[in-house]
Amino acid sequence: MSNTITQGIRVTVTSAYLPERSSPTRREYVFSYTVKITNEGAAAAQLRTRHWVITDGEGNVQEVRGDGVVGAQPLLRPGQSFEYTSGCALRTPRGTMHGSYQMVRDDGQRFDAAIAPFALALPHSLN
């Protein structure tokens, strides 16, 4: 799990291995991750873009950038949260993800809300 706050925006992530979608014999390991974004600050902010850095167990890095999350660009007023679940496939049984969301305030101020690193791992595979 990861948990971080940037300018009042808390981003919490939990991940899970999906054995029913994975095929270790073909080096396909599929994980889900659930993100909860909460505005704990005093001003509204809208999520505009995402940037993910995905690293597998062999050190291969993939970067993903795009508009919004799961087809949405949620506006979070103070006290509001937005939660979604997405997925990631790796060729190794372990890896990590981290990144950021570009947020925009009502006054036009832009900032990156950090997404702290979290593990993608088969259960019982971490020492």
Asked if residues 120 and 96 have their Cβ atoms less than 8 Å apart, the reply is yes
Residue 127 has pLDDT above 90, yes or no: no
Average pLDDT, the chain: 96
Please, what are the domains in the chain? Answer: 2-112 (2.60.40.1470)
E strands present in the chain: 2-6, 9-17, 29-39, 45-56, 61-67, 75-76, 81-90, 94-105, 110-121
User: What global pTM score does this model have?
Assistant: 0.94
Residue 124 pLDDT? 75
- Segment 97-116 shows an average pLDDT of 97
